[in-house]
Amino acid sequence: MIRSCIATTLRNRAKTAIRFFVSIVFSPVAFFLAFCFSTVFPADSGIFGSEIRTLEGTYLRLRTDLPSSTEVDGLPAVFDAAVPLWCRFLGISPNRCDGWKMDGCLIGDFERFERAGLVREVPDLRTGFQLNRKLWVLEQASAYYRRHLLLHEGVHGLMAHVFHGLGPPWYAEGCAELLATHTLRDGKLEIGVIPGHRDEVPMWGRIKLIRDDIAAGKGRSLRDVLGLQPGEYDAPNAYAWSWALCVFLEGQPEFTGILGGMTNVLPPGRTTSECAETFNERFYDRIGRDVRSQWEAAWIDFAGRLDYGYDRERARIDDLSPGATRWNGRNHQWRVRPDRGWQNSGLRIQQGDAVRIAAAGRFRLGNRPATWWSDPNGITIRYDRGRPIGELQMTILPGPETSNANTAGDDYSRCPFLNPVSIGTHCEYTAPVGGTLFFRINDSPADLADNDGDVTVSLEKASGNTIPGS
Ligand SMILES: [Zn+2]
């Protein structure tokens, strides 16, 4: 038996409300016993030939021709550990999985499985495939990616079982990718992670695909991802974008539970883009149409800065609402933290307003190997997105009433959050567009945890020689 408990670990859930960040912990000893005694069966007695053996778990029966190893024989236990986490994400009781079990094939030699009649329903197996309660995964050179694909197809199987449908492609594949991307350390399975380093997830490559697309001018807006068509999933890029969107949504407290909850609008039995339009309309209803352009900009900020170890809690934009105060020429002052992403000033300015912004303060940007101190001009020995880390930056987010494709940024080269103004210790500036002022201290979103201190930023009327905003 696997002794397991659900640990609502990870960071303060009440505070962050990122509810998929849960993990199942089971002791290394129990984990070892689990695959030793509950999963290993000898090769089937002649039904599929002696080369194919069966590993038995609670939710997965896995047939494989791969040699016995800790990694391979432990797969049903990993799958069993993932199922309660998936149920939690989908907002369903694990009881809904009583009696549900996937029949899986982990294939080393495809012809061997053909001879055994185990791949008749598979059209063109490149990596993995799921059909009702069956799944197939081709052996991978990476133990991580083998597990990943198995979990990915398992998520499809569970959603098909519980909801009788998978939803539009971005949702089906994005959720499967979200719930398959994992860490497994010392018998502890954690799903929904942004991997800390590429070496942790050999062959996964989702972040590189996104970066390469953006560099090639093919960055996708939120609307683009929602509109991905089934045929586009022939390339791995579509999986990467779908994953990233689901990670982004789950990382926003405003959207917590939305993804899992969308399953209740799945029309039963309609598994593909048949239902995409209705589904996406309802999705937009839930995220709020009136602030849609703001979320487009926040999404592009996220995707444009996505990196291994991206710190969702610290890097996300907490407040996208239009500033409550309209600037009337008076002086204003704020504190800007170096351990956060974009911070809303609460102040709206108008197109043509000329302002002087000054900043002062000394803050910490890291403590390895020694403390890195910076002022608002930044430290020129390390750069992020081409600017010194520690540099004070500003941008203007147009309000929903003025936002459109040209200003709100469903294009990576025009998104205000990815194209900030460098302020440093002072700057005079004429606003090229009206909107709410946001500030940040430049740093990698993976390196915010060890930053500390703050900067005092003040705004007043410009003295004269402003630089024109672009
Ligand atoms: Zn899939």
User: Rounded to an integer, what distance in angstroms lies between the CA atom of residue 465 and that of residue 1?
Assistant: 74
**177 Cα to the center of ligand 1, angstroms:** 8
Looking at residue 258, its pLDDT comes to 84
**173 Cα to the center of ligand 1, angstroms:** 5
**311 Cα to the center of ligand 1, angstroms:** 26
- According to CATH, the topology of domain 1-287 is Neutral Protease; domain 2 (1.10.390)
pLDDT tens-place string over residues 432-447: 999 999 999 999 999 9
Which SS3 state, helix, strand or coil, does residue 248 take? helix
Which SS3 state, helix, strand or coil, does residue 29 take? helix
**153 Cα to the center of ligand 1, angstroms:** 6
**106 Cα to the center of ligand 1, angstroms:** 16
User: How many percent of the chain have pLDDT more than 70?
Assistant: 83
Q: Where in the chain is the domain with CATH 2.60.120.430?
A: 315-468
User: Rounded to an integer, what distance in angstroms lies between the CA atom of residue 175 and that of residue 54?
Assistant: 28
Give the pLDDT mean for 46-73. 90
Residues with CB under 5 A from ligand 1 (ion): 173, 176
Mean pLDDT across the chain: 85
Whether the CB-CB separation of 77 and 30 falls below 8 Å is answered with no
**120 Cα to the center of ligand 1, angstroms:** 19
Distances in Å between the alpha carbon of 351 and those of 87, 304, 342, 402, 436?
49, 26, 21, 11, 11
pLDDT exceeds 70 at position 345: yes
Give the pLDDT mean for 228-246. 95
Exposed, middle or buried: residue 147 (CB in 10 Å: 0-12, 13-18, 19+)? buried
Q: Where are the alpha helices (DSSP H) in 306-422?
A: 312-315
pLDDT exceeds 60 at position 468: no
pLDDT tens-place string over residues 91-116: 999 999 999 999 999 999 999 999 99
Exposed, middle or buried: residue 381 (CB in 10 Å: 0-12, 13-18, 19+)? exposed
pLDDT tens-place string over residues 252-311: 988 888 888 887 776 665 555 567 777 888 888 877 766 677 888 999 999 999 999 999
pTM passes above 0.75? yes
The more confidently predicted of residues 41 and 203 is 203
Give the pLDDT mean for 386-403. 87
| Antiparallel, parallel or unpaired: β 363-366 and 372-374 | antiparallel
Residues paired with residue 194 on neighbouring β-strands, in sequence order: none
**360 Cα to the center of ligand 1, angstroms:** 50
Looking at residue 369, its pLDDT comes to 81
User: Rounded to an integer, what distance in angstroms lies between the CA atom of residue 233 and that of residue 235?
Assistant: 5
User: Rounded to an integer, what distance in angstroms lies between the CA atom of residue 303 and that of residue 349?
Assistant: 27
**452 Cα to the center of ligand 1, angstroms:** 41
Q: Where in the chain is the domain with CATH 1.10.390?
A: 1-287
- According to CATH, the topology of domain 315-468 is Jelly Rolls (2.60.120)
User: Rounded to an integer, what distance in angstroms lies between the CA atom of residue 323 and that of residue 331?
Assistant: 15
**289 Cα to the center of ligand 1, angstroms:** 29
Neighbours of 16 (CB within 10 A): 16
**410 Cα to the center of ligand 1, angstroms:** 26
**172 Cα to the center of ligand 1, angstroms:** 7
**13 Cα to the center of ligand 1, angstroms:** 29
Give the pLDDT mean for 207-236. 94
**146 Cα to the center of ligand 1, angstroms:** 14
Residues paired with residue 358 on neighbouring β-strands, in sequence order: 426, 458
Number of residues that this document lists for the chain: 470
Neighbours of 328 (CB within 10 A): 5
Looking at residue 402, its pLDDT comes to 64
31 confidence band (pLDDT: 50, 70, 90): very low
33 confidence band (pLDDT: 50, 70, 90): very low
**154 Cα to the center of ligand 1, angstroms:** 9
pLDDT exceeds 80 at position 407: no
Amino acid code (one letter) for 74: G
**355 Cα to the center of ligand 1, angstroms:** 51
